Amino acid sequence: MPYVNIRLAGTLTREQKEKMCAGVTTVIAEVTNKPEDSILIFVDEDQHENIAKGGKLLIKPA
């Protein structure tokens, strides 16, 4: 059973997550020859202040 963990800074709408998960599921199923219903996707939404790049915390977009 393939599983994918997607981590992102900020949040997405439910519709955005549904579209993203549908696309990722399609690609994983095609590449691995696994049924789509066997693929698990975990979406982790982190606050910008909890992520640093180059030693500096990310700034939340306006």
Average pLDDT, the chain: 95
Q: What is the DSSP string of 4-62?
A: EEEEEES---HHHHHHHHHHHHHHHHHHHT--GGG-EEEEEEE-GGG-EETTEEPPPP-
Cβ burial, residue 50 (10 Å; 0-12/13-18/19+): exposed
Q: What is the pTM of this model?
A: 0.84
Residue-wise pLDDT tens digits, 6-28: 999 999 999 999 999 999 999 99
Question: 32 to each of 1, 25, 43, 45, how far by Cα in Å?
Answer: 10, 10, 20, 26
3-57 belongs to which CATH class? Answer: alpha beta
